[in-house]
Structure 1
Amino acid sequence: MLVWFVLISIRVLKKWRPIIFRRLEKMQEKPVWVTWGERNKETFLLNIAASVIGIIYIMVVTCQGMVVSKLSTYTFFSQGLAYLFKIEVAKQNESEAQAQNLVRIRGDEAFQYVTPGHEDSTLIDYARDEFKNISKYVLSNNPAVCVVSGERGIGTTTFLKQLLHKVKNATPIYLNCPYAGYSELIQEFAEQLGLERDAGEIQILTHLRKSEESYLIALDNGQRLVKPMVGGLTGLIKFTNLLRRSKKNHRAILAVEKASWRFVDRARGERLLFDWVTFLPRWNEQQVAELLESRINQGEDNRVSFEGLVVPKQWDHENISEEERARKGFYRILWHYADGNPTVSLRFFRLSLRRNKNDESVVVRLFRAPESQELESMPKPMLAVLRSIVQLEVASQEELSECTQLSHAEVLGTLRYFQSRGYIEWNEDKAKISDHWFRHITNVLHRQHLLVK
């Protein structure tokens, strides 16, 4: 019986041997005992042991890939992998950068290789559940006022425009709230309704009540109606009341950045009641990778190469080429650093482009993320100024003084300090968080429990 079993096993191994070693040939970075098996796959008697070794190795790698793939669906595991991965790549690239003649591509030239978004850009499948939930209210025939909240750059504008494009039973109106706030918003609202620009609230309300058609009004950047101070909800309350007093089947969806929504949620009480509030989630690794891939210029004159970007082995990226492995690994690093923010991912992708002086080719190398120990140990009043700028989006010296209860001189000194370190930029006479420092600053404020991302 035993002899019969051994003979059958040997015959099965002989039949499967070509398939086993074809599979092994496609695998990279194999251990010594597997390479020994490959060398002896045709050696008499030893080929039996070689086949067994091949089967064991294939089973181990397959099970390992399945486990890692399953665990990668959990954000904490993927974030941990990406963090360790980034450290290893940074070590390798630091020594490589010294040996190669590479210069960073700066300014608008980077957009020739990683293109900006436009109306015909590829739409990534994102926030499907949130879209369905809010559609039940704003795409129905009943009046509703809903709120969608998300971090700056998460894709709120695209989310709103998708809703407007889908509506069939109402006239869509898109409003981008001006920095000046409620007064200018009312003027733009009047224009969109076909009224004179200087028409006031009464004329707008009369038009909405008498209109035979329903409107779906999408207000983008609604946080510009909010100031994190006593009485800071006045603009938002006025606009919401105007919509509710129309007494028709008009629907509205207001987009408010998450940094400001926390203040709105705490301060509104019973004065601001919404039919539905939804929060846009962070993008997962696959969504960010699809977005980055769709933005790479496919033209021959603007080719971007990942060749030479040395990355460590990843268990969930086995049988792929070195360049493809580098590409996927780099996307994982971008996703991890951006914390699921697509706009931040795209920005640092462009900061990772390098031109080789020798052959003018454009390659990708790991970006250098901004770091500052000063921010971690900064006094709370200075951090409060940063938080107010994040919440206000753009903030004047007077507004910051009112929001933080600091004197004008203290605010001015703090702003000069921030400007000298590149933390802020100026939009006319108002301060704005620098795009380059946005993620690092919000991370610090989040760790200090001053901001919810």
Structure 2
Amino acid sequence: MGTASVRSTLAGSGRTLTPLILALYLCLYLLPNLTLTEVKAANKPAGAASEITIDQSAKASLPAPAESTEGDDSQDALEQWAAALTKLKEDIQMGRSEPEAADQFYLELNEALGLKRQQLRQALGSTSPYPRDERQPPTTSKDSADPEKNEIETAPQHDGEAARPAPPSIEQLKSDMDSLYELRVSALSIVTADFRARILGTGLVGVRSLKEEIDFLYLTLNYHRHMLPKAGKQLTERFLSAPLPFFFKTIQLTIVIVVFVIWRRWAFEGLPKLRNHLLAIKPRKQIHVSLARLIWYVNRVRLPIEIFLFLTVALSILGLRQELISSLLLTKAQYILMTWFAVSLINAIAAKRLERLDRASAKIRLRTVWVVAVWLLVTGLLVDISEDFTGKATMHEWAWMVGYLLAFPLLGVLLHWWRPEIYEELENYPQSTPLTEKILQHKTGFEGYFWSALGAILLLIDGVRLIALKTVTTTEEGRSFIANLSRIEALRASERRKKITSGEPISRHLRELLYEVDGRLVESAGLEALEKMVGLARRRQQGEALIVAERGGGKSQLFARLEQRLEDKMVLLDCPPGGGKALLIEFASALDLDATDLSPETVTNRIAEGRISAVGIDNFHRLARPAMGGQQEIDEMIALIRKVKAELFWFLGFDWAAWQYISRVRANRLFVQEIIQLPLWSEAQIEELIEHRCHHAGIEPDFSELILPRHFEDSSFDTLEDQNRNGFFRILWNASDGNPVVALQLWMECIRVAEDGTILVSLPKLPSTVDFEDASITVLLILRVIAQSGYASQQEIIDSLRFPGPDVAGALHLAESNEWIEYVDGRYRLSWKWFRTVTRVLARQNLLVRRTLVV
């Protein structure tokens, strides 16, 4: 705190605080008078710590600033005190002085400050109830009653005699007192911890220090009251010498007042009308609803904002923003206005939800908000005012203490109001625990306050947990993190309880029903990509778009939905594993053309005849192989596509793993208009898919046997089964990384059939990666080739890696025996059971770029 800033804040008129300060001052005056620097060795008991003494050895090592008298230069004395404090700080920091030296310096400085206060009090002619400092020599003696002696002392001096120095002015005394007080506050920061605790505490020493600070504040207020006539005279002289600025400020202030009044009158009816006008707009858009909601909130909280803006502008016009009045009015008014604004905003938010509260709860909530707001306001004002006027000293600490003490009766009042609500909430608590049962057993009597406080803490912790949980789970990263924690904790809990889900695995027939496509689609999955593809196809322009998705990510379903939307104006193909020749045969068959005469001209003519607007080729990546020259068939097919001169849009589907490889080796040749990457499925979409398949299979799973960590789950569900259901699908979504087919495969492994036919659900668990991670690099590279190709034969793997045939054959046999891969139509592909585990391990080994929920 700088000298100028502290002095300006200390120099407040503060007439409204005078009665309160006088009352507190008179009360403290009745307490024992303790002089900090007095040592009463005769009456002091052994070990007593209520008085602070001066160690003479430490005192002798202190710098000795000169004591200033009426004839001394007070500025020099202040500079000596400041220099002594600076040197003491450096000495303590460098270890040249003991910390106790700061205690002695503080006592001497406080003594000098007391003398300066006494001088200012005498100069003001004050009748302060503060006792005369015994260390100040009396200004009169018994000899002063002799009128003859007084007459001699007041007689004019001879011309040759030196003139007595004039006493310091009131302004000089006030400035000196402020400077010494600033040094006192600064010295308090370097004293020992024990000494500081006594000065700021509530013992006799602390009371004495508080009385001194109140006396300092009293003298400050008395000084400004004494200077009011002089300030008024100066203001009158300024007005008479330059009246135009006064008139200009008056006009500006009048305009501000008029605008403020006009706005207040208009806003009373204008804001509701404006809100109703926005809500009446048809068709109503989200921006209209948001603006209407904003206007409603503004109308509920505008009054404190209006007053704050008015005070800010008015003080700026008057030129008082940097003056003391700004500190007293604007700065202190901020606490009141901010508290008012916060209460109004909370009330406005609560008003939106009153339909879920009964009338009694609404009243209690409103009273609670007001009481807590008043407590915060009083505490904040006390602390801020004490810091502004007396710095961070004893009065500042006592202000905090008053705020803390007021919190205890406030807590008792709040518990008295909320006890019925607390017990009612605990009775309806969805998860009964021994603690909640213990709390419910103590509803009456004085001990009921303690147990109700414990119940309130429990409910508050649960409420904060739910708020944090909802905040975290608003993003996919947060949901994935919570799902991981839930899965780990659930597995640990199951192992501790040795909980094994009873029942038999589901039958093969039931698996086929669950995997069978019944025509019911998850409409929200890939909807944005579908609309973009429909728009591209209906533009009737030539172009290409690549559709990229992870295997099982809904790419084929998206092509089927696109064909349905375009009706008979689309040709849909699925690239076979046989290569480019097999694809050309299927393409010619779809257009009723001869595969041996498939030229760009014939394709163009047939497209025009059939008015076809789009061609979709799913799994287009099967034309490529991760080997030298393995992209030749892709290049040939792309060349044919671009030679077809028709208003036709081509959609080419790629698996994510294959696309990561092809885009790197063919980045300079794949010039396409759009690359559409399908997002991974959300938790809700995975749940909807499982519900569709269970409905098709005619089963109703039971989630009641699951053991999930409650602290990671939302406890607002009506039943434990609903809560388990919500937590299970979050874990399933995380385990599958948003892949619907992987999620469906995991779901089949999670359900078992009990003896009574009930479908029981257990936790999803991916296969262990222990054995897989110990596999040789040869096996890992072969698995990468299969993942990037989708399907790969043994010879294609040999051509890609240039490995010896026996090595490749042995690795394929190992992978197939462990069910990592499966053999389909002469080629190998990753099995669905191990698909997610294999891709995760390859990604950890930097052999594959895997799509994840968290980017």
Tell me which interval the TM-score lies in, with the shorter structure as reference length: 0.7 to 0.9
Offset of residue 184 of structure 1: 1.7
Residue 173 of structure 1 corresponds to which residue in structure 2?
571
Mark the CA change 1:13 to 1:439 in structure 2 (over 3 Å): closer, same or farther: same
Distance in 2 between the 1:15 and 1:386 partners?
Answer: 67
Residue 64 of structure 1 corresponds to which residue in structure 2?
465
Distance in 1 between the 2:683 and 2:447 partners?
Answer: 44
Residue 137 of structure 1 corresponds to which residue in structure 2?
536
Mark the CA change 1:296 to 1:404 in structure 2 (over 3 Å): closer, same or farther: same
More helix as a share of residues = 2
Mark the CA change 1:254 to 1:119 in structure 2 (over 3 Å): closer, same or farther: farther
Asked if residue 191 in structure 1 is aligned to residue 583 in structure 2, the reply is no
Mark the CA change 1:75 to 1:101 in structure 2 (over 3 Å): closer, same or farther: closer
Asked if residue 73 in structure 1 is aligned to residue 470 in structure 2, the reply is no
Q: Which of the numbers 727, 730, 734 marks the counterpart of 1:329?
A: 727
SS in 2 for 1:211: helix
The amino acid that maps onto 1:155 is: G
Offset of residue 209 of structure 1: 6.4
Residue 303 of structure 1 corresponds to which residue in structure 2?
700
| Contact 2:702/2:759 (8 A) holds in 1 | yes
Mark the CA change 1:250 to 1:452 in structure 2 (over 3 Å): closer, same or farther: same
Residue 265 of structure 1 corresponds to which residue in structure 2?
663
SS in 2 for 1:147: strand
SS in 1 for 2:833: coil
Offset of residue 195 of structure 1: 2.8
| Contact 1:93/1:366 (8 A) holds in 2 | no
Offset of residue 259 of structure 1: 0.8
Offset of residue 446 of structure 1: 0.8
The amino acid that maps onto 2:754 is: N
SS in 2 for 1:277: strand
Asked if residue 442 in structure 1 is aligned to residue 819 in structure 2, the reply is no
Offset of residue 413 of structure 1: 1.6
Q: Deviations over 1:85-118 (max 9, x none)?
A: 2223223445767766532224333345xx2352
Radius of gyration: which is bigger? 2
Asked if residue 108 in structure 1 is aligned to residue 509 in structure 2, the reply is yes
Q: Which of the numbers 774, 799, 803 marks the counterpart of 1:377?
A: 774
Q: Which of the numbers 426, 431, 435 marks the counterpart of 1:24?
A: 426
| Contact 1:389/1:431 (8 A) holds in 2 | yes
Distance in 2 between the 1:131 and 1:315 partners?
Answer: 35
Q: Deviations over 1:384-423 (max 9, x none)?
A: 1111111222211111111111122221121112122221
| Contact 1:381/1:404 (8 A) holds in 2 | no
Residue 614 of structure 2 corresponds to which residue in structure 1?
216
SS in 1 for 2:803: coil
Residue 636 of structure 2 corresponds to which residue in structure 1?
238
Q: Which stretches in structure 1 are left out of the alignment for 5+ residues? A: none
Offset of residue 355 of structure 1: 2.2
After the TM superposition, which of the residue ranges 302-311 and 174-183 deviates more from structure 2? 302-311
Residue 488 of structure 2 corresponds to which residue in structure 1?
87
The amino acid that maps onto 1:26 is: N
The amino acid that maps onto 2:586 is: E
Asked if residue 342 in structure 1 is aligned to residue 740 in structure 2, the reply is yes
Q: Percent identity?
A: 25
User: What's the TM-score, normalizing by structure 1?
Assistant: 0.87
Distance in 2 between the 1:24 and 1:98 partners?
Answer: 29
Asked if residue 412 in structure 1 is aligned to residue 813 in structure 2, the reply is no
The amino acid that maps onto 1:147 is: L
Mark the CA change 1:367 to 1:250 in structure 2 (over 3 Å): closer, same or farther: same
Mark the CA change 1:214 to 1:364 in structure 2 (over 3 Å): closer, same or farther: same
Asked if residue 39 in structure 1 is aligned to residue 436 in structure 2, the reply is no
Offset of residue 258 of structure 1: 0.9
Offset of residue 210 of structure 1: 4.5
The amino acid that maps onto 1:86 is: R
Offset of residue 35 of structure 1: 4.1
The amino acid that maps onto 2:479 is: S
Q: How does 1:349-364 map to 2 (within 5 A)?
A: 349-357=747-755, 359-364=756-761
Residue 125 of structure 1 corresponds to which residue in structure 2?
524
After the TM superposition, which of the residue ranges 313-322 and 382-391 deviates more from structure 2? 313-322
Mark the CA change 1:164 to 1:206 in structure 2 (over 3 Å): closer, same or farther: closer
| Contact 2:779/2:815 (8 A) holds in 1 | no
Q: Which stretches in structure 2 are left out of the alignment for 5+ residues? A: 1-370, 372-407, 851-855
Q: Deviations over 1:25-76 (max 9, x none)?
A: 33233566654443334x2556666665555544432232122111123333
The amino acid that maps onto 1:255 is: G
| Contact 1:289/1:328 (8 A) holds in 2 | no
Mark the CA change 1:26 to 1:162 in structure 2 (over 3 Å): closer, same or farther: farther
Asked if residue 366 in structure 1 is aligned to residue 763 in structure 2, the reply is yes
SS in 1 for 2:715: coil
Offset of residue 298 of structure 1: 7.2
Residue 431 of structure 1 corresponds to which residue in structure 2?
828
Offset of residue 9 of structure 1: 9.8
| Contact 1:111/1:350 (8 A) holds in 2 | no
The amino acid that maps onto 1:334 is: L
Offset of residue 290 of structure 1: 2.6
Distance in 1 between the 2:659 and 2:692 partners?
Answer: 31
Distance in 2 between the 1:149 and 1:228 partners?
Answer: 18
Residue 205 of structure 1 corresponds to which residue in structure 2?
603
Distance in 1 between the 2:501 and 2:410 partners?
Answer: 58
Distance in 1 between the 2:610 and 2:824 partners?
Answer: 41
Offset of residue 375 of structure 1: 2.6
| Contact 1:226/1:233 (8 A) holds in 2 | yes
After the TM superposition, which of the residue ranges 225-234 and 15-24 deviates more from structure 2? 15-24
| Contact 1:79/1:336 (8 A) holds in 2 | yes
Asked if residue 163 in structure 1 is aligned to residue 562 in structure 2, the reply is yes
Mark the CA change 1:332 to 1:314 in structure 2 (over 3 Å): closer, same or farther: farther
Residue 248 of structure 1 corresponds to which residue in structure 2?
646
Offset of residue 273 of structure 1: 0.9
User: What's the TM-score, normalizing by structure 2?
Assistant: 0.48
RMSD between aligned residues: 3.1
Mark the CA change 1:408 to 1:8 in structure 2 (over 3 Å): closer, same or farther: closer
Distance in 2 between the 1:101 and 1:167 partners?
Answer: 49
Distance in 1 between the 2:703 and 2:829 partners?
Answer: 34
| Contact 2:732/2:764 (8 A) holds in 1 | no
Q: Which has the higher contact order (CA 8 A, sep 6+)?
A: 1
After the TM superposition, which of the residue ranges 12-21 and 82-91 deviates more from structure 2? 12-21
The amino acid that maps onto 2:563 is: L
Residue 228 of structure 1 corresponds to which residue in structure 2?
626
Distance in 1 between the 2:449 and 2:491 partners?
Answer: 43
Mark the CA change 1:94 to 1:110 in structure 2 (over 3 Å): closer, same or farther: farther
Offset of residue 213 of structure 1: 1.8
